[in-house]
Amino acid sequence: MIDRFLEMTSVMWRNRVRTALTSLSVAWGIFMLVLLLGFGKGLQNNVEYEFRDDATNSVWIYPGKTTKPFDGYPVGRRLGFTNRDHDAIAVGIEGVEHITSRFYPGGDLVRWGERDGSFEVRATHPDHKYLENTIIVGGRFLNDRDIDEKRKVAVVGREVVKQLFRGADPLGEWITVRGVLFRVVGVFEDTGGDDEEAMIYLPITTAQSAFAGGESVRQIMFTVGDASVEQTDAMTEEARLMLARRHHFSPEDTRAVRVRNNVERFAQVKQIFALLGGFVWIVGLGTVMAGIVGVSNIMLVSVKERTREIGIRKALGATPGSIVGMILTEALLLTGVSGYAGLVVGVASLEAINRFVPENDYIRSPDVDLGVAVAALGLLTVAGAIAGLVPAIRAASVDPIVALRDE
Amino acid sequence: MIRLSRINKYYQVGGHPLHVLKDLDLEVRTGEMVAIMGSSGSGKSTLLNILGILDAYDDGEYWLGDTLVKGLSERQAAAYRNRFLGFVFQSFHLLPFKNAVENVALPLYYQGINRRKRNAMAMDYLERVGLKDWAEHLPSEMSGGQKQRVAIARALVGQPRLILADEPTGALDSVTSHEIMDLLKDVNGQGITVVIVTHETDVAAECSRTVRLVDGQFEGVA
């Protein structure tokens, strides 16, 4: 084995320029494949990052306007949801995991002592934290007793702490929202970034009674656990029909309530990226293929040039098998070593991009995982064998009589 | 050592069979040194290829020692060449990128002998042809006579039953030719059968017997 290896390396060394150029084409192919896969992964990471703000397994329902007459009601009636709709969905729809409604008190000027600032105010249920990926970093989020007892408490985002409190500890402080005092009980951060952190959450029941909201809610949102797209669609439809019964609109009237099905949206985006991923593989494999055709070609040339050598070897007792073995191992070595080099350089480049390219809106953490690297290596081995096959068979069929004929 | 009986060989030329060797009978005893002479087109190259198990014949029998050489697979033919035969060519056919000792050791590589052992054996045979000091030299650094000595060492290293030499002096001047013939006679003197294909009468004259091939048939077996 070592013998065979030394035989081969001596042959390759004799043709080192050619060997180097061929290696380069294979290395380049694998390098491009790794880079493409890494960038594909980066794009995908970025999209998943874009979805990070909200739970991807959530469904949002907003009231709309009727577009069909029904049950004696005219067209164009504006619907409104109430706490009872919320309760009906919470109890009546199988598979609802976390549910919250939202009510917007309106008027975004928030005061703390002498200071004031403009922040979005949302009144919600405690489960809201699951739908917005809200992370508590101090104190607590809203809880059920806040809802039941209509407590005047508020949970503020980090931007609020920064802008309104100038970094002071807000816990226990009183802030004024539309003239009503709320005590700050918690501070949160949000994976959605600064905008989502310039936000104040109030208990929905407190806000409804403090700001004359009555029972009304502006939207109902719930998560579906790990339900599939089909299951989620079914749940959504069930909720829509329930609302149709409760609000007397036609079940065919799809505009009466608006539904945002994040499960479906996320599944679609994931599908797009699966397609993109497949495309990236095809392009990458094409590049690798070009490299392999190059190897095959160069090996054919090499075999042709070495016809006499092969003839001599055969006359001295080389079996066809040993000739095939010689050429095949040469091809494998060539593709293996250069491909591995391409792989290493590719991975190193991705690491460098990760480290030195600033965060941007398009690519995030380009990366190849171990599985892909192993797959690429496996591919190389197969490719090497394929690249060597035709030249090897050609070499084995060299007729020593012809090869050794004196010109 | 060699027994050919009623060997026939045809080539297809433009759809018509060309009868190249016609009912050849030949016997070469162990330890003989035989010259095969013939003009070009006489079929002597074909005969040499058949003797060298590089080409197949159409009918008849070729016995090499007690082995019938007939209908071999490529793999078997390679094994027989490796174990039974040593080749010496007019243009030496050394591998240009290997030094003398590596060239001599090549047949042993195909016998599966490890590097150290085969290099030692190759050195031994280089010494016998008087080129021990040239072991590390590439063929391009050697004279024609030296190259042919290396080739002879390579032919001998596998301890063959038979040395087949195809115009072994064809590319050499007369002085060197003489030296090479002396070397081959020396080899023959050690009991190895030698068959030389040549068209030079003074080469043939050095052999113990000469057969002439004319139009695929032996003429006046001497």
Show residues of chain B in contact with A308, CB under 8 Å. Answer: 93
Question: Any CB–CB contact under 8 A between A406 and chain B?
Answer: yes
Q: What is the DSSP string of B15-33?
A: TEEEEEEEEEEEEE-TT-E
- pLDDT value for B222: 41
Share of chain A above pLDDT 70, in %: 98
B20 phi/psi in degrees, rounded to 5: -90, -50
Which candidate from A3, A312, A318 shows the least CB-CB separation from B93? A312
Residues A127-136 pLDDT 10s: 999 988 889 9
Tell me how far apart the alpha carbons of residues B133 and B125 are, in angstroms, rounded to a whole number: 12
User: Is residue A227 domain-shared with residue A162, that is, in the same domain?
Assistant: yes
- Domain of A12, in residue numbers: 2-51+267-403
**Domain end residue (candidates: A221, A242, A260):** A260
Structure confidence at residue A273 as a pLDDT band (50, 70, 90): confident
Same domain for A212 and A251? Answer: yes
Residues of chain A contacting residue B74, judged by C-beta atoms under 8 Å apart? 319-320
How far is Cα B153 from Cα B186, in angstroms, rounded to an integer?
12
**At residue A15, what are phi and psi to the nearest 5 degrees?**
-110, 50
Contact A317 B154 (CB under 8 A): no
Where does residue A349 rank: exposed (0-12), middle (13-18), buried (19+ CB within 10 A)?
A: middle
CB < 8 Å to A312, chain B? 93-95
CB-nearest partner of B81 from A308, A317, A320 = A317
Distances (CA, A) of A366 to A345, A352, B10: 14, 10, 68
Highest mean pLDDT (candidates A92-101, A187-196, A287-296)? A92-101
- Pairwise CB contact (< 8 Å): A316 & B95: no
Say how many CB pairs under 8 Å bridge A and B: 62
Nearest CA in chain A to B109: A3
Averaged confidence pLDDT in chain A:
88
Mutate to test the interface with A, among B49, B50, B54 (most CBs of A within 10 A): B54
CA distance B138 to chain A (A): 14
- A295: closest CA of chain B, how far (Å): 22
Check the CA dihedral A333-A339-A342-A347 and report its sign: negative
Q: State pLDDT tens for residues B66-125.
A: 889 998 899 999 999 999 999 999 999 999 989 999 999 999 999 999 999 999 999 999
Across the interface, do A315 and B87 touch by the CB < 8 Å criterion? yes
8 Å CB contact of A321 and B52: no
**Cβ <8 Å between B78 and A319:** yes
Q: Decide if A123 contacts A207 (C-beta within 8 A).
A: yes
CA distance, residue A326 to nearest chain B CA (Å): 12
pLDDT score, position B3: 93
Q: Which two tokens stand for residue A253?
A: 């009237």
Q: CB distance from A1 to chain B under 8 Å?
A: no
Chain A contact probe: residue of B57, B106, B167 with most A CBs at under 10 A: B106
3-state SS class at A173: coil
DSSP per-residue string spanning A280-315 = HHHHHHHHHHHHHHHHHHHHHHHHHHTHHHHHHHHH
Helix (H, G, I), strand (E, B) or coil at A34: helix
Nearest-CB residue to B93 (from A6, A320, A404): A404
Q: How far apart are the first and last CA of chain B?
A: 18
Say whether pLDDT at A39 is over 90: no
CA-based nearest distance A339→chain B, Å: 27
- Are B94 and B151 spatial neighbours (Cβ–Cβ below 8 Å)? yes
Whether B217 shows a pLDDT value over 50: the answer reads: yes
Higher pLDDT, B84 or A291: B84
Encode pLDDT of A195-209 as tens digits.
Answer: 889 999 999 999 999
Confidence (pLDDT) at A407: 58
Interval A352-356 mean pLDDT: 84
> If you average pLDDT over residues A102-108, what whole number do you get?
84
Q: Are A155 and A281 within one domain?
A: no
pLDDT at B162 exceeding the cut of 80:
yes
Q: How confident is the model at residue A359 (pLDDT cuts 50, 70, 90)?
A: confident
Same domain, A285 and A314: yes
Interface check for A407 against chain B (CB to CB < 8 A): the answer is no
Task: At A159, give phi and psi (nearest 5°).
Answer: -65, -35
CB of A312 within 8 Å of a chain B CB? The answer is yes
Domain count, chain A: 2
**% pLDDT > 90, chain B:** 79
Residues of A in contact with B98 (CB under 8 A): 10
Distance CA B93, CA B139 (A): 10
pLDDT at B220: 63
Q: Are residues A247 and A281 in the same domain?
A: no
With vertex at residue A271, the alpha carbon angle to CA A270 and CA A274, rounded to the nearest 5 degrees, is 90
Reply yes or no on whether the pLDDT at A223 is more than 80.
yes
Last residue within a domain, chosen from A226, A241, A260: A260
> A320 and B75: CB-CB below 8 Å?
yes
**Cα angle vertex B79, ends A4, B144, to 5°?**
70
> Domain spanning B31-56+73-219: which superfamily?
P-loop containing nucleotide triphosphate hydrolases (3.40.50.300)
The nearest CA of chain A is from the CA of B221 a distance in Å of: 27
* Range in A179-188, A276-285, A360-369, B12-21 with the lowest mean pLDDT: A360-369
| Domain edge (last residue) among A215, A245, A260 | A260
A26 plus A66 within the same structural domain: no
Tokens coding B110: 């195909």
Buried b (16+ CB within 10 A) or exposed e, A237-275: eebbeebbebbebbeebeebbebebbbbebeebeeebee
Same domain, A154 and A199: yes
Please enumerate in sequence order all residues whose Cβ is within 8 A of that of A101, keeping only pairs 6 or more positions apart, or say none.
Answer: A81, A83, A86, A124, A125, A204, A217, A218, A219, A220, A221
Helix (H, G, I), strand (E, B) or coil at A368: coil
**Cα B130 from chain centroid?**
20
Cα gap B69→A395, rounded to integer Å: 25
Distance from the Cα of A324 to chain B's closest Cα (Å) equals 12
d(CA A156, CA A141): 9
Which residues does chain B have within 8 Å of residue A3's beta carbon, measured at their own beta carbons? 109, 114-115
Highest mean pLDDT among A5-14, A193-202, B26-35: B26-35
Q: Which residues of B147-178 are buried (b: 16+ CB within 10 A; e: fewer)?
A: bbbbbbbbbbbbebbbbbbbbbbbbbeeebbb
Phi-psi region of A150 (alpha: psi -120 to 50; beta: other; left: phi over 0): left
**ipTM score:** 0.93
Please, which residues have CB within 8 angstroms of residue A134's CB and are 6 or more apart in sequence? A128, A141, A188, A189, A190, A201
Query: In what helix (H) or strand (E) does residue A341 lie, and over which residues does it extend?
Result: helix A320-356
* A321 contact B CB<8A: yes
